[in-house]
């Protein structure tokens, strides 16, 4: 059966699920200057505690303070601020790369073993988009894979009809049939990471050397996080690379 337009995804989405909430203790207040998010103030507070500099002797506002932190490479204070993002419209090929970033991250991903993929969507690789013959060939291939999956689930449900527990029977069928689904199958994943970990991942995956789909996601996630906590990500610059696609570069490496 031909895939509908709805089944083909060409862009990812990023949704913020959680952000830091900072509660300043009354007995150790900081002399704050300027506007800041809770995450930024949490990092500044942690940094000032190390030297008991709550009186802010240099008279820096929060974002100046964190700029100096990045410049000096004292990135450990950024680890206190965690951000949780829901990533959708991405392929399982992408998440195989994403979850290699372990330090400072937590992941919860859609399970093909438990979730019915009969109405699965598929993420068209950026390199294919805009080339009609390539788009048609790719669409035909993922459509055939989906048909195979649906057929296998039906056959496996019949084969295991003797299993009285219907939930377990469906799980047995789906876990076997999912093997024919391609890496382009869309998945959803919740990713929680501290600001330092996000910086490292974004530096690597938004670069021109990164694979195109994860690079596209990294640039989008960077934009979202720059809105959430500008001081943590202000030294990233998004630009149009020589391949006419967006990439990003960073000023302070491996903070």
pLDDT at 254: 76
Residue 244 lies in a domain: no
Residue 251 lies in a domain: no
pLDDT at 1: 64
Last residue of a domain, one of 128, 153, 180: 180
pLDDT at 34: 96
Q: Which domain holds residue 48?
A: 21-79
pTM for the whole structure:
0.95
Number of domains in the chain: 2
Burial class (CB in 10 A: 0-12, 13-18, 19+), 67: middle
Residues of the chain with pLDDT under 70: 1
Buried b (16+ CB within 10 A) or exposed e, 185-216: bbbebbbbbbbbbbbbbbbbbbeeebeebbbb
Active site residue 159: no
Last residue of a domain, one of 152, 180, 208: 180
Strand runs labelled E in the chain: 8-9, 13-18, 82-91, 105-109, 122-123, 186-194, 236-240, 246-250
125 shares its domain with 71? no
From 178, 199, 205, 215, active-site residue: 205
pLDDT at 5: 84
Residue 155 lies in a domain: yes
pLDDT at 204: 97
């Amino acid at each position: 059966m031909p895939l509908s337009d709805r089944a083909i995804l060409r862009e990812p989405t990023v949704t913020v699920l959680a952000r830091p909430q900072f509660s300043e203790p009354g007995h150790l207040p900081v002399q704050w200057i300027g506007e800041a998010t809770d995450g930024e103030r949490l990092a500044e507070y942690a940094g000032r505690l190390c030297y008991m500099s709550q009186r802010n002797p240099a008279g820096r506002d929060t974002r100046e303070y964190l700029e100096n932190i990045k410049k000096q490479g004292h990135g450990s204070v950024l680890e206190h601020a965690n951000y949780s993002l829901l990533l959708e419209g991405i392929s399982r090929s992408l998440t195989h790369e994403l979850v290699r970033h372990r330090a400072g991250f937590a992941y919860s991903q859609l399970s093909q073993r438990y979730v019915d993929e009969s109405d699965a969507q598929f993420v068209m690789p950026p390199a294919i988009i805009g080339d009609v013959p390539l788009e048609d060939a790719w669409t035909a291939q993922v459509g055939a894979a989906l048909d195979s999956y649906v057929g296998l689930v039906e056959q496996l449900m019949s084969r295991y009809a003797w299993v009285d527990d219907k939930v377990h029977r469906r799980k047995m069928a789906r876990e076997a049939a999912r093997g024919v689904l391609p890496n382009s199958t869309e998945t959803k994943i919740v990713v929680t990471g501290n600001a330092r970990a996000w910086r490292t991942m974004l530096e690597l995956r938004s670069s021109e050397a990164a694979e195109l789909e994860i690079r596209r996601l990294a640039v989008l996630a960077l934009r979202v996080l720059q809105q959430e906590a500008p001081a943590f990500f202000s030294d990233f610059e998004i630009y149009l690379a020589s391949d006419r696609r967006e990439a990003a570069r960073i000023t302070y490496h491996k903070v």
